Structures are given as structure tokens and as C-alpha cells.
Amino acid sequence: MTGRGKGGKGLGKGGAKRHRKVRLVESKYLENVIRDAVTYTEHAKRKTVTAMDVVYALKRQGRTLYGFGG
């Protein structure tokens, strides 16, 4: 059983590759959300990113978030 990875069926260690890909995709997604939120903040001539900036950034990307006003 040792050395076979998950499941013991000879599938190897595919989890590490998936983990790397998921991390890459989620970091790119967060980068885009943060960029949009900072753009809203700069447009409002503020230095602090508010929750509403993040809500608007998420809404712009098609991910509506409820419960934070607006």
C-alpha cells in the first residue's frame, strides 16, 4: 500500500499537480478582483479599500455577493 498515492490503485501523486493548477487559477482570480477593487478606490480618491469596493469588483466579474450593502 505504501508509495501508491491516493486510492492505492496505482494512480500516482496527481494531487500535487492539481494543487498547483488550482493555486494558479485562484491567485489570478484574486489578482483581478483586487485590481478592480483598487480601481474603484482610486476613482473615489480614497486610500482605503472598502467592503463595497470589493462587492462592486465581484459584481463586475459576475460574482454577486449579498449581505454587504448596496
> Tell me, what's the pLDDT at 19?
86
Q: For residue 44, what is its C-alpha cell?
A: 473615489
Report the helix count and the strand count for the chain, using DSSP H and E: 2, 0
Q: Where are the domains of the chain?
A: 11-60
Residue 11 has pLDDT above 70, yes or no: no
* Assigned fold of 11-60: Histone, subunit A (1.10.20)
> Tell me, what's the pLDDT at 69?
77
Helix (H), strand (E) at residue 30: helix 15-43
> Tell me, what's the pLDDT at 55?
95
- From the list 57, 22, 67, the residue with the least C-alpha distance to 49 is 57
- On whether the pTM is more than 0.85, the answer is no
